[in-house]
Structure 1
Amino acid sequence: MNKSEKIYIAGHRGMVGSAILRKLKAEGFNNIIVRTSSELDLRNQQAVNDFFAAENPDYVFLAAAKVGGIQANNVYRADFIYENMMIQSNVIHAAYVQKVKKLMFLGSSCIYPKLAPQPLKEEYLLTGLLESTNEPYAIAKIAGIKMCDAYRAQYGCNFISVMPTNLYGPNDNYDLTNSHVLPALLRKFHEARINNAPEVMMWGTGSPRREFLHADDLAAACYFLMQNYNEEGLVNVGTGEDVTIKELALLVKEIVGFKGEIKHDLSKPDGTPRKLMDVGKLHNMGWKHTIGLREGIEKVYKEFVKTEAVAQ
């Protein structure tokens, strides 16, 4: 990618898209185009086709998606499959029509079978049943990977797919109903500390293991892969290290400074027992994460406290 070439980031206000935008700006890229969802509805095929015809970008980072935690995925099943299928189908096809030089499609680790061997290797895709709570979202993301591969096979398009592990960072969603586990815990412990609550209730047993990657590390990996990876299939992006949800909760509790107890709501689902990425493929290409979990959470919590203060 040359600094002057036109780059379109779909989903620039989300956690992933905004991290990619920060990274590109830091690297000196100055011809970046973005649109808010109110300016361009990516679910609308005609609007997307018109946008691509008018702007004709050289590179596309497809980070736009309807996302949420276990509760949102399970409740809004139709929304998750419909909106994600529409967004990615419209953008990928328009990128082909306008002869975009390269497109990166961002997926999620939930594409892997629920009971796949750990750590998750790229070749485990489609080898078993998915976790039922987020199956519609996973199906949409798998379709995106296969669509990129199909356009590569039939039309020679340089479309690549990147599957990040669980992410956290600036512009995360802290809504307790729809958020992922780490921001939900941060908010719960923060509010409990402020209100001098005696306990914090966490969902499930705390036994599932999860891996967490800072969004800035993902953006660095995306920047690296956009310049160095040109193959079908997908690339896992993660740390290759995981913790139990209980260990995560204890770490967040310590960082936030909450002194009370942790209680478990066993009526809530645990989700997949473990989701650790095998990042050997990425490491062998020469990229590795740099932000440790404690350091990353401390950074994110400082940002969260600042944002909360401004909101009040």
Structure 2
Amino acid sequence: MTTVTDGVGFSPGELDRDATFYVAGHRGLVGSAIVRRFEAAGFTNIVGKTSAELDLKNRDDVFAYMAEIRPRYLVLAAAKVGGILANSTYPVDFLSDNLRIQSNVLDAAVANEVERVAFLGSSCIYPKFAKQPIREDALLTGHLEPTNDAYAIAKIAGILNVQAVRRQYGLPWISAMPTNLYGPNDNFSPQGSHVLPALIRRYDEAARAGASSVTNWGTGTPRREFLHSDDMADAVLHLLEHYDGPEQVNVGTGSDVTIREVADTIAGVVGFEGETEWDTSQPDGTPQKLLDVSKLAESGWTSKIPLEEGLERTVAWYREHVGAVRV
């Protein structure tokens, strides 16, 4: 492939609805939302493979699949993800698996000259004590949160991979960094889930059992921003059609709540009437993580799903699929 200057000759615009569009991780929380949103927008050739059908950690298989489908567009939403417990217990897995997934998919995309790629990362890439709200230029300016630093380093490597491809090959690839996501097809495992789906499962089970109390980790004081996966999918389509640049773009709501507040909201949504207790011997993680989303807002996009409405929809989905959700 010929080496060209970053960004030469490309202007973002409406994507070809009939082109082959590969969504890596199409069954997950974000990937499934992207498939729903893009199908609703008229895309007719969205493709993907489950992890059982294609192990993205297997380089030869990834290259063979990409050569077979020859996508014009690609969203890399596949990743090994988890909450504080999983990240702190299995840092090698989170680092190694995600580095391999990213390098395999992105290298194969280069080899097949995929025109437009959106790499999806995580807000945990930013320093633990970054100034709030966190701007994109806070990247690599301080120490990471130690409970998920391995995962964060992998995602930072993905951002740099995209930037390197832009510099070396001139392909108009972009990166988007979502805040804490939730919605249908999330992981509700007590051991492997993020805070919000873990709380939904815990409070729903307590409500069904008529339990008198629920115990949550930490103090409940850390502040977190939550974005529904359907909003995230809408933002990804917006960015692919309206943004081009080497810097990652924050995707969030621009507002946050305490863990205690979101726990109380979930308790109300599921109908739990008992007491909430807090195990302060367990870690809180980063004290606050609120993204500065002004860059995204300036491009013309803002979130649309309020937190309580999103929680009601997610709880309804969870209850409908409780026997089949990822645990």
Shorter-chain TM-score range: over 0.9
1:76-107 per-position Cα deviation (integer Å, ceiling 9, x unaligned)? 10000000000001111111111111100000
Q: Report the number of matched residues.
A: 311
Alignment partner, residue 91 of structure 1: 105
Match of 1:92, SS state, is helix
2:280 pairs with one of 248, 258, 266: 266
2:226 pairs with one of 188, 209, 212: 212
Alignment partner, residue 17 of structure 1: 31
How do residues 193-272 of structure 1 correspond to structure 2 at under 5 angstroms? 193-272=207-286
Alignment partner, residue 145 of structure 2: 131
1:249-286 per-position Cα deviation (integer Å, ceiling 9, x unaligned)? 11111111111000011121100000000000000000
Distance 1:41 1:191 in 2: 33
1:217-250 per-position Cα deviation (integer Å, ceiling 9, x unaligned)? 0000001001111110100000000000001111
Distance 1:268 1:11 in 2: 32
| Paired residue type of 2:310 | G
Distance 2:50 2:20 in 1: 17
Distance 2:128 2:179 in 1: 14
Matched, 1:163 2:153: no
Match of 2:321, SS state, is helix
| Paired residue type of 1:252 | I
Alignment partner, residue 295 of structure 1: 309
| Paired residue type of 1:79 | D
1:46 pairs with one of 40, 60, 79: 60
1:108 pairs with one of 122, 134, 138: 122
Distance 2:323 2:152 in 1: 36
Match of 1:74, SS state, is helix
Deviation at 1:310, TM superposition (A): 7.1
Deviation at 1:52, TM superposition (A): 1.1
How do residues 170-189 of structure 1 correspond to structure 2 at under 5 angstroms? 170-189=184-203
Distance 1:114 1:160 in 2: 24
Match of 1:263, SS state, is strand
Distance 2:302 2:261 in 1: 23
Deviation at 1:308, TM superposition (A): 2.1
| Paired residue type of 2:46 | I
Alignment partner, residue 8 of structure 2: none
Matched, 1:282 2:296: yes
Deviation at 1:53, TM superposition (A): 1.1
Runs of 5+ unmatched residues, structure 2:
1-14
Match of 2:214, SS state, is strand
Distance 1:304 1:293 in 2: 16
Deviation at 1:124, TM superposition (A): 0.1
Cα RMSD of the aligned pairs, angstroms, is 0.9
Deviation at 1:309, TM superposition (A): 6.3
Match of 1:113, SS state, is coil
Match of 1:308, SS state, is coil
Distance 2:158 2:173 in 1: 10
Deviates more, 1:213-222 or 1:296-305: 296-305
Match of 2:322, SS state, is helix
Distance 1:306 1:51 in 2: 34
Distance 1:310 1:215 in 2: 19
Distance 1:307 1:18 in 2: 15
| Paired residue type of 1:198 | S
1:181-224 per-position Cα deviation (integer Å, ceiling 9, x unaligned)? 11111111111111111100011000000000000000000010
Instruction: Compute the TM-score of the two structures, normalised by the length of structure 1.
Output: 0.98
Distance 1:28 1:309 in 2: 32
Alignment partner, residue 79 of structure 2: 65
* Seq. identity, %: 53
| Paired residue type of 1:279 | V
Distance 2:189 2:67 in 1: 37
